[in-house]
Amino acid sequence: MMISLEQTGKRFNYDWIFRGVTLSFQAGERYAILGPNGSGKSTLLQVISGAIQHNEGTIQYSTPEKPIAHDAFFRYCAIAAPYLELIEEFTLTEIIEFHLQFKQFLPGITPVMAMQLVGLEKAAGKQLRNFSSGMKQRIKLALAILSDVPVLLLDEPCTNLDAAGVALYQQLINQYGGNRLIIVSSNDEQEYFMCRHYIHITDYKQ
């Protein structure tokens, strides 16, 4: 999977968040979008994901076999972000079953194994409304990282995690990241420890 941006820009009202972004994200590579809080890192990641529309320029998605339509890209990516809500009336088992209606886990990963990997197997029947913020973040990371998709998008993935949670996140990436395209929006090196390419959002500010 490759993602290409050509002179891409995003504005809110009359204020440009970024402009002139020309980048290619290659399959199997790992990229970090860096910058201070409020600089537009998350906005760029959301534009890449297709969650919000850009205002100028182009974005193209493709595999070696074919181009991917914008409205089909969601099938090829998984995202974990603090602003993505979980359905709090669901139990942990139910949220995993719901997720699996849209994306399958990596080969060999079962729902029970997914719970065990993030240390939440004892909470299988507990409603998410009763989970701590750290527990919810572990679920978001598990659902994203363990999904069998070629693109993984992570926005401040260690939000609400303690030291043990950060170590768990890094372990999941090391063990299950595989040869996927990974893009991380962050200003914390613990979150983009695996990235070899760095994009500074401030380079695209007007």
Q: pLDDT tens across 22-41, in order?
A: 999 999 999 999 999 999 99
On whether the CB atoms of residues 20 and 69 are closer than 8 A, the answer is no
Domain count, the chain: 1
Residue 168's domain comprises 2-204
Low-confidence ranges of the chain (pLDDT < 50): none
Closest CA to 109 of 142, 141, 63, 79: 142
Q: What confidence score (pLDDT) does residue 206 get?
A: 72
Task: Provide Rg for the chain, Cα atoms.
Answer: 17
H or E stretch including 117?
helix 111-117
What is the domain-level CATH number for residue 39? Answer: 3.40.50.300
Q: What confidence score (pLDDT) does residue 178 get?
A: 95
Cα–Cα distance between 129 and 114 in angstroms, integer? 19
Global pTM value: 0.96
Write the single-letter amino acid at 28.
G
